[in-house]
Amino acid sequence: MTYRAAFDRYESMTYRRSGRSGLLLPAISLGLWHNFGDDRGYETGRQIVRRAFDAGVTHFDLANNYGPPPGAAESNFGRMLATDLAAHRDELVISSKAGYGMWDGPYGDGGSRKYVTASLDQSLARMGLDYVDIFYHHRPDPDTPLEETMGALDAAVRAGKALYVGLSNYRAEQLSRAAAILSELGTPLLITQPSYSMFNRWIERDGLLDATATVGAGCIAYSPLAQGLLTDRYLDGVPADSRIRTSVFLNESDLTDDTMSKVHGLNDIASGRGQSLAQLALAWALRDERMTSLVIGASSVDQLNANLGAVENLTFTEAELREIDRFATDR
């Protein structure tokens, strides 16, 4: 059946400006880190992407190594673009990244100009695109001069292969240095993408939001649900089909009595606000206006719909924030 986008797709989503740029992003963006590789049903992923766009999610976040296997998420998303979203390309913000290991040999990892340039070319080919809207360096590379990596990002913009550039997993001091180099080259830093959640608050101690604001960039956090820990998934134990049994990011050993006590405490707060735990966690991560967007994953349309409900209540009282702080501590 031919896909026709919902006519009211922009009525319920909240959009925020990325730093001092002209680009608005939806408060909730769809990440294709999990659930869009060849180990998952293509049609399920396709329905999730369609529903996301129908709900006003204009930003789709990818990377060269998302899969499995690496590259599969971009290839599958490219098929969805061709069949469903090609007519809406100018309504979309599509991002990709390079920085982690992607192919064998000395040129398939890191931050060299050779790797970054080749990776972007491969990503564009997999998605069938002439350009991506945002191209990130995925992680700092201590073995490559920062000037070389930032020069590669600048060159991508000048070649018309990317409209904006971003950084992921950079700390405040690293970001400030990188942004200064990019500014001198004439390609300002648009956005940074760190991990952040109620159980992972390192960016507050690091001063990352202050640093991004100083350089005029935005911030988009990934893993705001702590790999599913901040959902109702584990409130009553570990489901048989849970990804926790195969995940390298969250294990059953992480579900300690102390952690689960915090999860239940936060769930009680969410119930008092008329939200699910996941909706509370997402709204909380967006409480600072400098947080442009959050990248969430979804394994089903129902899960996506439930999480998108977070934007219906993004306001907190000071008393609520103090109560949340009792439980929202680093694991």
Q: Residue 240: is its pLDDT beyond 60? A: no
Residue ranges and CATH numbers for the domains of the chain are 15-227+287-310 (3.20.20.100)
Query: Which segments of the chain are extended strands (E)?
Result: 15-17, 24-26, 28-31, 59-61, 93-98, 132-137, 162-168, 189-193, 218-222, 291-296
User: What number of residues does the chain have?
Assistant: 331
Span 264-293, pLDDT tens digits: 999 999 999 999 999 999 999 999 999 999
Looking at per-residue confidence, does 83 or 1 come out higher? Answer: 83
List, in order, residues 6 or more apart from 263 with CB less than 8 Å away. 229, 230, 234, 235, 277, 327
Span 191-212, pLDDT tens digits: 999 999 999 999 999 999 999 9
Handedness of CA 288, 292, 296, 300 (dihedral sign): positive
Mean predicted confidence (pLDDT) in 135-143: 98
Q: In angstroms, rounded to a whole number, what is the distance separating the alpha carbons of residues 248 and 245? A: 9
Mean predicted confidence (pLDDT) in 67-90: 98
Task: Output the six-digit token pair for 23.
Answer: 């680009």
Q: Residue 247: is its pLDDT beyond 80? A: no
Nearest to 8 by CA among 72, 56, 60: 56
Mean predicted confidence (pLDDT) in 117-121: 98
Q: Residue 152: is its pLDDT beyond 70? A: yes
pTM, two decimals, is 0.95
Looking at per-residue confidence, does 236 or 15 come out higher? Answer: 15
Span 298-325, pLDDT tens digits: 999 999 999 999 999 999 999 999 999 9
